[in-house]
Each structure stands twice: as C-alpha cells, then as structure tokens.
Structure 1
Amino acid sequence: MLESIRKRLTLLFSGSFFLVLVLILIGVYVTNAQLLNRMELNQLKSVSDRDIFERIEHGEDHFIRNPIYFQLLDGSGNERYASLPPDVESKTLRRFLSSNDTTQQVEWDDRHFLLYQRSTEEGRLLLMKDISPTEDTLQRLIAVLAGIAVLATIVLTLVGYILAGRAVIPVQQAFDRQRRFTSDASHELRTPLTIVYSGIELLEAESLSNEGRTILEDVKAETAGMQYLVSDLLLLAREGQPSPKQEVDLSSLVQKTVERFQHAYSNRVIHASIMPDLRMKGDTHQLNRLLTVFLENALVYSDDVIDVSLEETTTERQLTIQDRGIGIASNQQTKIFERFYRGDHSRHGTGTGLGLSIAQSIAEQHGGTISIDSTLGEGTRFIIHFPTL
C-alpha cells in the first residue's frame, strides 16, 4: 500500500515539475522563434524603405544582396524589374500579391522563404528572403529542447521518487505502529475470549432455566462473533507483509471449500463448475479465506441457489461467486471494500464490515483484482481475476 502511495507521489512530483519545465521550454522556443522572425522581417522592411526605384534606374540594384530577392511592379501589375531565383513558383507569388497579407512564409524545394509586399507611389514592391538557415536553427533548437525535456524527465522522476520516499516515512511509521497495536491487541484478546467461550460450553451442560439458556446462547453467539472479529483484525494487521507462497492446487482448494459449505449448510444449494488441474503460486490459507468471505456473504444475502465457477482464459484465471439475492446498489458498490463498511444489514445479519476488505487485500497480494456486477433485487456476481504467469 505504501509503495503505491510512493509511486503516486512520485508521479505527482515529477508530473508537476515536468509540466513547469515544458511550459518554460515552450516559452524559450516561442520567444526565440518570434525574435528570429522579427529580425528577418525588419531586414526586409529596412530594404523596402529605400528609394529602390530610383537606385535601380541608376543601375544600383546590387545593394540588395542574396538571399534577398525582389520584384517591382507598375500600377498595372506589369513587372518592371525583378531579381528572383530561377526555381521560384510564380503562382505562389501572384496569389500572395493579390492577397491583403503583408507577410507570408512559403516553402518549396525544401527551402523556406519570407515574402513581404508594400505599395509604392509608382506600383508594388515584393521582397523575398531565403530564411532556410533560420528555420534550420529553430529545428535544431527544438531537438535540443526535446533532449533537455527527456533528460530532465529522467532526473525529475528519480528525484521525485527519493522525495516521495522521504514523504512516506512518517506514514510508514504510523502504519507500523497501528499494525503492531492491532496485532498485539488481537493476540491479547484471543486468550480471554477462548476462556470465555470454553466456560460457556461448560455452562451449557448445566441445568438452566429457559431464560438463562437464552441468555447463554446470546453470550455464546456474541463471543463467537468477537473471536471472528479478532481473527479478521489479526489478518488485517499482517496486510502488506510478505507471506510464504507455494504451488497451490486452486481447483482442489475451491472444490473442498465448496463441499465444506455444502455440508455445513445442507439446506442450501451450491452449484460448482470447476475446471480441473488449475494451479498457481499462493498462500493456501489466504485463498481459502478469500473464497470463504464470498460464500458466507452469498449465503447471508441470498436464499436461492449459489453458483461457484473456476475457469481459465488465455490471460487469467477467473473465480466467480454468483448469488440471486438482494443485490447491491450502484452507489454502494465502490464502498463495500472499505473497512467496516456494512451498508444496510437490518434484515440480513450484522457482520463486521471487514470481510470484503480482507478479500481484496488477499487478492492484491496474489496479483489479482476483484470485479462486481450487481443489480438490486436480482443478485450479485463477484469475479476474482488471477493472472496466469
């Protein structure tokens, strides 16, 4: 559980840092791109401000140096002077000149050009500059910034994992104290409860009045419930601690557990469909406890037939327990795995609210998950998904 918290904190820390970094890098790129494009445009504007017609007519057209090209048009749109590259796309230029745009970036033959036009007293002036070096610079800048982002992501993830580890230390300490307290309290309660239960069994052999026997039966039932609760608390106290796992014949375990319930509840019908020879790595006692929780719930909340099935798909083993009982409301289905959550038990026993929480913990320790499909008044189906390794 704490490792899961640490991973979430790592994702939160590194994600926040990465988002800030990406925003900074985007700002760097946009600022540089705007600066370079503004410099290119200012250069064209400075050229266009000269008295270009008069200087060209005097044969001084060499003051416009490559990679800046130009075209001078008279009032009728006819070309008077031009210095354009031989591979220029004339359609692109005519489309730009007929538009209302002052500037435009175009690309042909893997070269990038910046177009600029303005009206003059004697016609229209078009300037075109090869800005391929500027675009190459921006592409290299993108590559550099992407490399910085990747490297920073790795570093920030490692730093975030370290910081998250330090952040969960107090949580780990508090969790360990709580677990030790629960374990110690459970162990301490076991002995007196066993003594009380044994004393009740001895008293049952004595002659008692009807009222006394009724009281004794109530005390015995409550004591048995307390023993059950103490066992659940002890199991929860061990949550997260590694348990020895060995190869388990899951098919045999499910079959024997179902048979035990059929003998104990001879007035109930439990149908079993179990695929043979399904094995997995796990703890036999915990897996038995897992199935017991769902069978006990099915018997409490349903008076009809209970179906238990075990099958294997290409990706997982599915253990299904289905009843035809009262069902679970949709707004409670996300809460039933919380500790001590009981819902409405006014007509169906009491319970401690720990069973499903324990079942989920056991499933997670075996790499599994639990899904639920339930409809009020129709029944509930729990499916435990164990991965096939």
Structure 2
Amino acid sequence: MTTAPKRRPGLASRGEDLRGASLRLTLQFTALMLVVLVLVGGVVFAIVSASVAESASQALAAATRLDSPDDAPDGTYLSVVDDERVMSPRNLPAGLLDTAAIATVAAGGGDVTGTREIDGHRYRLLTTTVAGGRGGTRVVQVALDQHESAEELERLTVALLAAGLVALAVSGIAAYWMARRAIRPLADALALQRRFVADASHELRTPLTLLSTRAQLLRRRDQTGLPPDVTEAVDEIVTDTRTLTGILEDLLIAADPRSVADPEPVDLTETADQAVTLLGGEAAGRGIALQRAGATEPVTVPGSPSALLRLIVALVTNALDHARTSVVVHIGVDGRYATVRVADDGAGFAPEIVDTAFERFSSGRAAAPAASGVTRHYGLGLAIVAEITRRHGGTIAVESSGPTGAAVVARLPLARP
C-alpha cells in the first residue's frame, strides 16, 4: 500500500502566508473600491435626482399657462379659479385639490408649493396666479404625478447597486490575482528566511549546548595545581557560551515573526516574578538589590509567554548592567494598557542616543569595563524588547533618564474581559 507524500511544513506555512497576505490586500483594495463606487453612485444619483426635480418644475410652470384643465397632459392636473368657481379635470383624484393654498394665493399671498400622497402616488403641487384672458389675473393650481419619476429613480438605484456589486466582485477577483502575483516573491523570500532560521536554530543550539555542558563539567573538576589563567579561561568559556546562547535566542526572535503567533492569556505579574527569580542570583552576585513592585493581582495581556518573559528579562538584564545599587521591576495598569517599568539607579541614557536606544546594535549606555565582571552585550537586548513589544501591539519608550538612573516602560494592550 502506498501513502501520499507528506506536505512539508515550510511549504504549508508559505502557502498560508501568501494566502493571508493576498486576502488582506484584496480586502483593502475592495474596501477602497466600495468607497469609490459609493461616492460615484451618490454623485450620479444626486445629478439624476436634481434633473428630475428640474424637469418637474418646468412641467409645473408650463402647465400653469394652459387655458383649460382638459388640455393638461397625462399625469398633470390643472385646476383654474374663474369667478370664484374652481374648474378641475374630471379625473382629478379625490382629495388632491388644496383649497387652502388656493385661498391663500387668491387673498394676495405668494406662490404656494407642496406635496400630497394619495393612493400610493406622490404629487407635487404649485398654486400661483397667471394673466387672465381679459387683462386680469387668475389663480391656478397644478398637480404633477411623480410616480413615474420615483420609479425611474428606483430603477436607477437598482442599476447602480447591481453594477456596483458586479464591479466589486470583478475588482476583488482581479485584486486577489494581482496580489498573489505581487506577493509571491516576498513569500518565497520569507519562506527561505524561516528555513534558514530553523536550520540555524538546529545547527547552532546543539554545539553551543554541548560546549556549555563540557565547559561546566570541566569547571566542576578538581582544579588543584592548574594555573590561575586556565581556571579563569574555563570560567570565561562558560560565560561566553551563555552569552552566545542569549544572542542566538535574540536573533531567532528577531528573525521569525511567528514567535508571538497564536497569542494566549499571559499574566505579566507572574512573568515578572519569574524574571526576578531567574536574575536574582546574578543581581546578588553584583551587589544589586533586584525588587518587584506594583501589582500583586494578575495583569493579563494576550501574547506569547516565552516572548514576554524574554522582554522582561532583557529589560532587567540591561538595567543590571548599568545599575549602581538597585533595579525595580514595576507592573501596573494604565487605562486599557498594562505597563512594565524597569528602573535602575545608574548613569542613565545619554540625551543624544535616547531616540536610537531601541535600534539594533545600538549601544544605549556607556560600555562597562572588561574587568568589571559585567557580561558584554552587543546592542540587541533593547532592540529585541522593541520588536516583541511591537508584535504584541504595544509601545516602548525611555520614560526618564539622568544622572540618578533610567526607566524604560513597555505598554501592552490588556486582554479583553
């Protein structure tokens, strides 16, 4: 029995990315087309409506010059007041004659316009005075049936809607096809990058783990009789492997945007406590008091637990590198956002590099001397923090900086209840 070949995860991911990006571009273009069609349709409908209204006004004015009610065309009803008698056509709909308007005009008032609706038909009325046959004036009232005009506007509305739907469907299909063609090279490049990230993760983590394990085993052996420089070199190897592992993790997070895919509820209070616990020994070894302040109740945000832990660890690590005596991790809530504030009492950021502190390979503060015992970093920590914050829909900023210390604050959207 033969089995179907399994689909490679990279190809599946590439197809999903391509389809998703194409659909997003298609929806955006279709929404733009919808706005354009609505505007064009509105303008066309307004022009036609104005034309219909102007035609109705001209028809009413022309009907007032007729001599007899029987001369009015179909759909137009002329009533004439002659010697206080009102002459109306025999087919005048009941209730259409506006006697109040006639009385107003006959008493010397100005022209009266209005509308009436009878038996589902809408009529437009004009009551005015015109020159009579014997040099005087007479009062006339013209009623124009607008049923055909209303049906014409309804047909125009249906035609515009039908044409708009067809145009939207055609534009949507065309936009999706063009978007796939345009995005395919980018999707191929992204798939290649992800394969490289996966390969680098596998190829680099394994030897680094083995190197770190062997160095730690070597450091635990009896070092009696070994020269001091050898012992020191072993310690440096252990430290350097940890640094390389951290840099590798940072690079992988920066290179693979799927690190925060499928967000889940994350308690920042618990995550901060975990970060403080992880770095407590390092802080104590440097003589720095690492404290956790702020919220004690859960502060929940949607995201990746590992990425958010990395965010807080990177902030605390950066603060430890520059603190004199203390670092404080504060978790709080500000409106619809959770805040992670990490403050230290070090020298602070120089004013000229505050704006570039979160760029890659940017040295945020003066580098520590090699003999200070502080692990050297390579300008990725705060850049990774900014990247993780951005992928979680938040913001990162230097809140304060000066000779008495610095504070970096990350704001993340709270989980919806």
Residue 297 of structure 1, aligned match among 307, 318, 322: 318
Secondary structure at the aligned position of 1:369 is classed as coil
Unaligned runs of 5+ in 1: none
Residue 129 of structure 1, aligned match among 126, 143, 149: 143
Residue 343 of structure 2, aligned match among 323, 326, 329: 323
Secondary structure at the aligned position of 2:258 is classed as coil
Secondary structure at the aligned position of 1:68 is classed as strand
Match of 1:345 in 2: 364
Match of 1:13 in 2: 29
Query: What is the TM-score normalised by the length of structure 2?
Result: 0.61
Match of 2:97 in 1: 85
Q: Is the 8 A contact 1:116 1:128 kept in 2?
A: yes
Query: What is the TM-score normalised by the length of structure 1?
Result: 0.65
Match of 1:308 in 2: 329
Match of 1:63 in 2: 71
Task: Give the whole-Å Cα distance in 2 for the aligned partners of 1:6 and 1:235.
Answer: 25
Going from structure 1 to structure 2, the CA distance change for 1:380 and 1:82 (only over 3 Å counts) comes to: farther
Going from structure 1 to structure 2, the CA distance change for 1:174 and 1:61 (only over 3 Å counts) comes to: same
Match of 1:176 in 2: 191
Q: CA deviation at 1:177?
A: 0.9
Unaligned runs of 5+ in 2: 1-16, 89-95, 369-375
Task: Give the whole-Å Cα distance in 2 for the aligned partners of 1:200 and 1:190.
Answer: 15
Q: CA deviation at 1:372?
A: 4.0
Q: Is the 8 A contact 1:33 1:138 kept in 2?
A: no
Match of 2:371 in 1: none
Match of 1:261 in 2: 279
Alignment of 1:132-147 (within 5 A): 132-134=146-148, 136-137=150-151, 140-141=154-155, 144=158
Task: Give the whole-Å Cα distance in 1 for the aligned partners of 2:204 and 2:307.
Answer: 22
Q: CA deviation at 1:263?
A: 2.2
Going from structure 1 to structure 2, the CA distance change for 1:68 and 1:243 (only over 3 Å counts) comes to: closer
Task: Give the whole-Å Cα distance in 2 for the aligned partners of 1:134 and 1:15.
Answer: 34
Match of 2:38 in 1: 22
Going from structure 1 to structure 2, the CA distance change for 1:257 and 1:157 (only over 3 Å counts) comes to: farther
- Judge which range, 291-300 or 370-379, deviates more: 370-379
In structure 1, what residue type is equivalent to 2:151?
T
Q: CA deviation at 1:292?
A: 0.8
Match of 1:382 in 2: 410
In structure 1, what residue type is equivalent to 2:254?
L
- Judge which range, 122-131 or 188-197, deviates more: 188-197
Task: Give the whole-Å Cα distance in 1 for the aligned partners of 2:107 and 2:323.
Answer: 79
Task: Give the whole-Å Cα distance in 2 for the aligned partners of 1:226 and 1:268.
Answer: 24
Match of 1:369 in 2: 393
In structure 2, what residue type is equivalent to 1:320?
V
Task: Give the whole-Å Cα distance in 1 for the aligned partners of 2:48 and 2:367.
Answer: 71
Secondary structure at the aligned position of 1:380 is classed as strand
In structure 1, what residue type is equivalent to 2:292?
A
Post-superposition Cα deviations, 1:188-220, rounded to whole Å, max 9, x if no partner, equal 4557767888999989964559xxx89x99999
Going from structure 1 to structure 2, the CA distance change for 1:93 and 1:328 (only over 3 Å counts) comes to: farther
In structure 1, what residue type is equivalent to 2:408?
T
Q: CA deviation at 1:258?
A: 0.7
Q: Is the 8 A contact 1:329 1:375 kept in 2?
A: no
Going from structure 1 to structure 2, the CA distance change for 1:299 and 1:137 (only over 3 Å counts) comes to: farther
Secondary structure at the aligned position of 1:271 is classed as strand
Task: Give the whole-Å Cα distance in 2 for the aligned partners of 1:96 and 1:33.
Answer: 33
Secondary structure at the aligned position of 2:257 is classed as coil
